[in-house]
Amino acid sequence: MAVRMISVACLLVACGSAPVAPRAVDLDRADGVGTFVSVPRGFHTRSYWIEGPEGVVVIDTQFMPSEAERMLDTVERETGKRVVLAIVLHANPDKFNGAEVMRRRGVRVVTSEQVRARVPEVDALRRRWFYERYAPDYPSAMPELDAFGDATTEIHAAGLTLRAHVLGAGCSDAHVVIDWNGHVFTGDLIAHRAHAWLELGHVDAWLARLDEIEALRPRRVHPGRGESGGVERIDAQRAYLEHVRALTREASPVVPAPEGAIDALRARIEASYPGYAYPVFLRVGLPAVWTAVALERAE
């Protein structure tokens, strides 16, 4: 836990630069899809919106309540329509912290039963990390989410029909992936030119999630961080995770890790991906990957 606390503090310093205006990204607007990117202090988190004939659906609710407010204002200004539903893709505060803002403005917020079950524990841990540093721009209580069920289903809202795929562990213990009209919204299962959130060490399960996303045959892939793209985003994330796993195996990990061993592994990964955002995510996540691979070797 001490390693994680130090790492998060470093991350907050890195993201504490002067804020820039959040922006809307219009690359997919011809399809009715828009993107909102938070200020750096909000970890450059991406929320997406899908415009329907009867309103708008938002994907993920932002880390900072102030950004959730600005995101809603941006979406409703850009579309001229009201946001009627928000969908949370997994249990991390950059996905669920804006839920209370949504609810106050009449927006229903939903996720799967599996993701909702993980929110209390994750919220409690992240609150210890973030609350004092971000207050008052942090939820004062755990955000409340509704559940659409525990199995893959169709969601009808704003005159749209979305397919909500209920998936297992990856960067979190449970995930939802939204599929609509060739667009797939993955949350942090995919990042573009950013290091992965490896906190739980579920690399093998994460790779299985990427296979499931690929099987949806998406035309456009919308990641949790970094620009949207095509199926090459899936390929790049798979290659990244496989490389992290291969380098960890090469290190012949044992538990407990020898002093400096994980730092040396992190340096090799960073050298493999120069310019990738959030290298501190490796400080948070590599101890879990190291342990998982060490246990794999011991079996």
Q: Percent of the chain scored above 70 by pLDDT?
A: 91
pLDDT at position 8 over 70: no
Residues 261/251, Cβ–Cβ less than 8 Å: yes
Q: Is the confidence at residue 5, as pLDDT, over 50?
A: no
pLDDT at 20: 46
Integer Cα distance of 88 and 99 in angstroms:
9
- Give the Cα separation of 83 and 79 in Å (integer): 9
Give 6's pLDDT tier (boundaries 50, 70, 90): very low
Tens digit of pLDDT for each residue in 114-163?
999 999 999 999 999 999 999 999 999 999 999 999 999 999 999 999 99
Q: Where are the alpha helices (DSSP H) in the chain?
A: 2-14, 65-79, 93-96, 99-104, 113-134, 203-215, 232-250, 261-272, 280-298
Tell me the pTM. 0.92
Tell me: the pLDDT tens digits for 75-111?
Answer: 999 999 999 999 999 999 999 999 999 999 999 999 9
Q: Are 94 and 62 in contact (CB under 8 A)?
A: yes
Amino acid sitting at position 291: T
Please state the rounded mean pLDDT for residues 59-63.
98
The three-state secondary structure class of 158 is coil
pLDDT greater than 70 at residue 24: no
SS3 150: coil
Place of tokens 């005159």: 159
